[in-house]
Amino acid sequence: MPASKYTFPCVAGIGLRAPHYREVLETLPELGWVEVHSENFFGGGAPLHTLRKVREHYPVSLHGVGMGLASATPLDEKHLSDLSQLCNDIQPVAVSEHLCWNAATGFVINDLLPFPYTREALDHVTRRVTQVQEKLKRQLLVENLSSYISFSQSEMTEGDFLAELTQRSGCGILFDVENLYVNVRNLGVDAEAFIKTIPADAVKEYHLAGFSERDGCLVDTHNHPVYNEVWDLYEHVLKHLGPRPTLIEWDTDIPALPELLNEAAKAQLIIEQCHD
């Protein structure tokens, strides 16, 4: 069943990156949807022109890496307005950001950084998610983070934080299964508790990716096929929370398009088994 370009189809998609733009547009592979990093298309010119062409053929999801929802500095109005302009242009099927921070007074750290899950932080992030949703006039999906440290000041788990955040702000959840797996291995996070805490209705999308290891720490590098343990966890998550649009992310050492599509096909198979 071909999905409308304006609804988020419950099938597998791929993260579309620059090395594959041309091949995807020339061969138009059978593909449920694609996701791109929002910031790469701010402004105009060739990037935006390319994305408009992609949009003619596929549903597009915009995935931001720069909003810094938990930063303690004021929300970057220019960044938000660039995103808003891109949304109006592309009409994405979903818009997502990460549950993280990236800015301190005077400088920005262009990464996805963890913070203590406190009630104070929850109030703060709720206000900012609301601000973003009001500007974009749509629901924002917020993604759980892969983390290499945890803060002793945290008053709740990331799962509790996300569940409360969705209830207060009306945002959705982008459940990154690989991030959860990384946190289980790195920080001893309880995967079962996380899955039980997350409200199924709020989950609108899944992410899958590969990680790497550095001195015993799993690092969310998106440079590898999805590992078997993550596939297993994904199947388990789907049994509890139900199938959703699922993305294969690959950002470093990006493989040939067929390999990426093959990973998406594996996810598609699991989605279909879950529907049966």
Taking the complex as a whole, the smallest distance from the CB of residue 256 to another protein amounts, in Å, to 20
Q: In the chain, what is the straight-line distance between the N-terminal and C-terminal CA atoms, in Å?
A: 16
Site membership for another protein, residue 26 (CB under 8 A) = no
**Between 65 and 94, how does the x/- string for binding to another protein read (CB under 8 A)?**
-xxx-xxx---x--x--x------------
Please identify, using beta-carbon distances, which residue of 2 and 106 lies nearer to another protein: 106
114 to 71, 72, 145: CA distances (angstroms): 10, 12, 7
Residues paired with residue 113 on neighbouring β-strands, in sequence order: 101
Site membership for another protein, residue 124 (CB under 8 A) = yes
Residues 144-203 that bind another protein (CB under 8 A): 148-153, 185-188
Taking the complex as a whole, the smallest distance from the CB of residue 32 to another protein amounts, in Å, to 28
In 26-128, at which residue ranges do the beta strands (DSSP E only) sit? Answer: 34-37, 60-63, 94-98, 101-104, 107-113
Q: Which helix (H) or strand (E) holds 108?
A: strand 107-113
Please identify, using beta-carbon distances, which residue of 16 and 112 lies nearer to another protein: 112
Q: Which helix (H) or strand (E) holds 39?
A: none
Q: What is the dihedral of CA 214, 65, 164, 6, to 10 degrees?
A: -130
- The binder of another protein chosen from 3, 25, 48, 254 (CB under 8 A): 48
Beta strand 12-15 with 203-208: parallel, antiparallel or unpaired?
unpaired
Binding site for another protein (CB under 8 A): 39-40, 42-49, 66-68, 70-72, 76, 79, 82, 101-111, 113, 115-116, 118, 120-121, 124, 148-153, 185-188, 214-217, 219
